[in-house]
Amino acid sequence: MFNALAPVFALILLGYALKRLEFPARAFWPEAERVTYFLFLPALFLNNLAGADFSQLSAAPLALSLILGIVAACLLLLALRPLLGLPGPSFSSLFQGGVRMNTYVGLAGAAALMGQRGLTLSAVALIAMIPLLNFFCVPVVAHFGSKGSPGVRGTLRELARNPLILACLGGFALNLTGVPLPLALRDVLSLLGRVSLPLGLMAVGAALTFNDARSHLRGVTLSAVAKLAVLPALAAGACALLGVTGEERTIAVLFAALPTSSSAFILARQLGGDTALMAAIVTTHTLLSFVTLPLVLSLLG
């Protein structure tokens, strides 16, 4: 399992090293992540889903197992909040750290383990997870943070403009209707999609910072237990309950066990969460996942 995921972690470390060397420049990496998120990844999903064969996939049970796992984790964190003794903004960052996932690591891991089939299953996982995570995280960070909420309308507007959701829905629609993509367009989308995973992983490494982990040890530790151990266990339990096995179960556990995404930092900054704690969580989770991800997949996947 570790051998399959080793290239994923190697690219993350390469991105961190390149940023430290300021090559090509520090300003390059935020823009690289932006173009990957808005262009390369949507191209990958649209092209893959348009021609995917869903006849042998248990898509609905996979999606439901992730939904059940995430809902259980969110409710557990909210129930434990009075016992944690953390200020509101710190709890909001811990909450995000306990449930959000890094899309790039998940997609690269799925591709390394299962190839194109893994990417197709990943799209099912993302369609289930992205709206649900925003449904929970935006109100929680707005309530416990120090700034106002964007409201239901603002949240729905952001979901409606999410490029990954739009690409997945577009790919599913083409697949269901049987409308083929022109060959030239498929070739263009294929070339764009090939860039997404290596560049996205290097951007993950470039975003790592090591300034605040020690001063936020409690919040970082609690979030790591929640995200890297409890949520995967809940997802595996949901899979057992629903009879999800094989590659679908592996994808469910993989996406539940992913480190927290750097997008959590952006939401914390917008709505008044603890940004220093959030940055420490993102970095620590990413490094710990080098060990925890292969281990959890071996035990639960």
Q: Model-level pTM?
A: 0.91
pLDDT at site 213: 67
Q: Residue 44 pLDDT more than 90? A: yes
Q: How confident is residue 111, by pLDDT bands cut at 50, 70 and 90?
A: very high
Lowest model confidence (mean pLDDT) among 70-84, 130-144, 218-232, 242-256: 130-144
Average pLDDT over residues 74-79: 97
Residue 12: per-residue pLDDT: 95
Residue 106: predicted pLDDT: 95
Contact 289, 260 (CB under 8 A): no
Question: What digits encode the pLDDT tens for the residues 134-172?
Answer: 889 988 988 888 766 666 677 777 778 888 889 999 999
Query: Which residue in 248, 190, 197 sits closest to 51, CA to CA?
Result: 190
Determine the average pLDDT of the residues in 165-193. Answer: 92
The rounded Cα 92 to chain-centroid distance in angstroms is: 18
Note the pLDDT of residue 215: 75
Q: Give yes or no for a contact between 192 and 40, defined as CB atoms under 8 angstroms apart.
A: yes
CATH pick for 2-300 out of 3.30.572.10, 1.10.3720.10, 1.20.1530.20, 3.40.50.1100: 1.20.1530.20
Structural domain spans, the chain: 2-300
Mean pLDDT across the chain: 91
CB atoms within 10 A of CB 137: 24
The C-alpha atoms of residue 182 and residue 5 are separated, in whole angstroms, by: 34
Residue 71 pLDDT class (50, 70, 90 cuts)? very high
Statement: residue 212 has pLDDT above 70: no
Q: What is the mean pLDDT of residues 239-254?
A: 96
**Secondary structure class of 225 (helix, strand, coil):** helix
The label of the residue with tokens 């490494």 reads 205
